[in-house]
Amino acid sequence: MKNKFYHTILLFGFILFVGCQDFLDPTPTNKYSNKFTWESEKNATLYLNGFYTYIGTYGNFGNGQFGATLLTDGLTNQLKYAGNVAGVGTPNLYAYYPERITPDQNSLGVWNDAYERVRRVNEALLGLNEFAKFPDEKKKDYEGQLRFFRSYIYFQLMKRHKSVILLDKPTSYKDNPRASEAEGWDFIEKDLNEAIASLPVTRPAAESGRLTKGMALAFKSRVMLYAQRWDKAKTAAQECIDLKDDKGGLVYELNPEYRKAFASYEQGNKEAILYFRYVSPAPTHNFDKNYVPGGDYAGLGALAGPTQEMVEEYELATGGKPDWSKWRSKTTETPPYELLEPRFKASILYNGASWKGRKIEAFVGGADGFQDYGSASASNGHTVTGYFLRKNLDEKNTDVEKTLSTQPWIEIRLAEVYLNLAEAAAELKDAATANQALTAVRKRVSLPWSAKTGDALMQAVRHERKVELAFEGQYYWDLRRWNRAMTELNNVRFHGLKIEKTGDSFSYQYVVVDDQVRKYTERLQKSFPIPSAELANNSAIQQLDEWK
């Protein structure tokens, strides 16, 4: 009965992407089951729902990397993990020992699962064209969705390996060679162009959350940055920003409040573009349980906290950055948290911040607590940096131990599209467009802006991406595509702010939160290795040059 009930919900679109596993998981099909899938729009719609889970899988709430909800931001100076053992501390181990990434083992790799998903998409495309009898317009819509998902999966492969096996039919990828990097981006671009041409601008409420033209345009603007096809990234971003519905209104708009930009479109957030919705009883996620401060849940919690380097990236609300030199040595002067711009308070919990009807106690012995990195194998809810995550936590979830999380994963929002536009325009020496896009993002948080050109403009774009998209799983990959990973992630240690309380006063001390230097390698900046199992089973493929 329960499965039948969820099928009904799915069919009428009240809750997308949950239901009977027969449809949620697009498993390999034979000719009979493929025919059954495509003999009615109802079956086809339920079947396609399973592909939407990929958006969640590769997001920060999914298990598509590290095998858990561990964030790649923890490989950068944005976020520091408290654990120093495999599992809760895996990002630290990867940061200290880049040699852990090998052809035999790579927790950041997606090769096998990605190709299994590519095969499923290709099977679906074949079945659609062979068996579907419904109207051409509906077939076009379904094909657009499937082509988007294939491009989405191939993007995960390309941003890791840059040269992969390209398959557009449900055949084994055994004994197929790798295509060139240019051919890989061509393949993704072609699928996205087909999706853009096939998908509707908007959908009725019953289909809310399904792929649209705007989602494909937004994703294309990101993909083309990785491909360094600046003109195409710029065009896709601008078309997404300018997209209008049948009443002449803009489809997407920046949310007036930054902290509210992480709700779904159905929740009134017109900034959300591409997202995956979670719902109780399933699917849910564990983000709150893993990252809330110890005062909320000491059983786990606070797996990672923002670094002092990330805190210092935020500007004053009046513009410009504060002078943090006073806190390099021990002082009782309160840090300028209350003077920082709104994105800081919406993203980071600091000592004294308001949270769930109380004040955060990020000091030694406080309700949320501080511990020196390395003093314990796990966090027990304590911070090692003096800060806790706030972004993407659900402040209304007051019992994270018993209540699994249901806030949506926002994969792409309009602010990113503006930043994609700014970066592409800056690369094309179109300073006017880049400055306009940056102004739009900063205006939302009332930050002043003075126009820039050349290197100063590009530095401003990168700063804005780091702050606006903090803890959204982008920065590590941005550093790699900017060829900045060796500079930012090699031979460095990051910092926190240790807080101690004496009576009614606090002392603050800059502390190192790494017990050894972080390392990075040139070959990691270029690519991840092809898995050894693939090399052993595929006579037509060779390892990437930098990994031979």
Q: How many CB atoms lie within 10 A of CB 183?
A: 12
Q: What is the CATH number of domain 2-69+110-199?
A: 1.25.40.890
Q: Position of tokens 């053992």?
A: 85
Which positions ≥6 away from 466 have C-beta within 8 Å?
A: 78, 313, 475, 478
Structure confidence by residue, pLDDT tens digits, 18-64: 333 333 344 444 544 788 889 899 999 999 999 999 999 999 999 88
What confidence score (pLDDT) does residue 86 get? 85
- What is the C-alpha to C-alpha distance for residues 312 and 463, in angstroms, rounded to an integer? 11
Contact (CB, 8 A) for 209 and 393: no
Mean pLDDT of 441-461: 98
How far CA 546 is from CA of 107, 229, 523, in Å, comes to 19, 24, 6
* Token code pair at residue 492: 């460095």
Contact (CB, 8 A) for 180 and 132: no
Let me know if domain 207-281+410-469 sits in CATH 1.25.40.390.
yes
Res. 374: pLDDT tops 80: yes
Mean pLDDT of 232-255: 98
Is residue 287 classed exposed, middle or buried when 0-12, 13-18 and 19+ CB atoms within 10 A define those classes? buried
Contact (CB, 8 A) for 497 and 510: yes
Residue 473's nearest CA partner among 395, 407, 409 is: 409
Structure confidence by residue, pLDDT tens digits, 296-315: 998 889 999 999 999 999 99
Q: Where in the sequence of the chain do the CATH 1.25.40.890 domains occur?
A: 2-69+110-199
Res. 145: pLDDT tops 50: yes
Res. 15: pLDDT tops 60: no
Mean pLDDT of 257-282: 96
* Token code pair at residue 205: 């409420």
Mean pLDDT of 375-394: 92
What confidence score (pLDDT) does residue 18 get? 35
What confidence score (pLDDT) does residue 298 get? 87
Q: Where in the sequence of the chain do the CATH 1.25.40.390 domains occur?
A: 207-281+410-469
* Token code pair at residue 164: 């992969």
* Token code pair at residue 108: 């950041």
Contact (CB, 8 A) for 503 and 490: no
Mean pLDDT of 278-306: 95
What's the gap between Cα 259 and its chain centre? 17
Structure confidence by residue, pLDDT tens digits, 178-237: 999 999 999 999 999 999 999 999 999 999 999 999 999 999 999 999 999 999 999 999
For the chain, give the percent of residues with pLDDT over 90.
87
Residue type, 266: E
DSSP-derived 3-state class of residue 355: strand
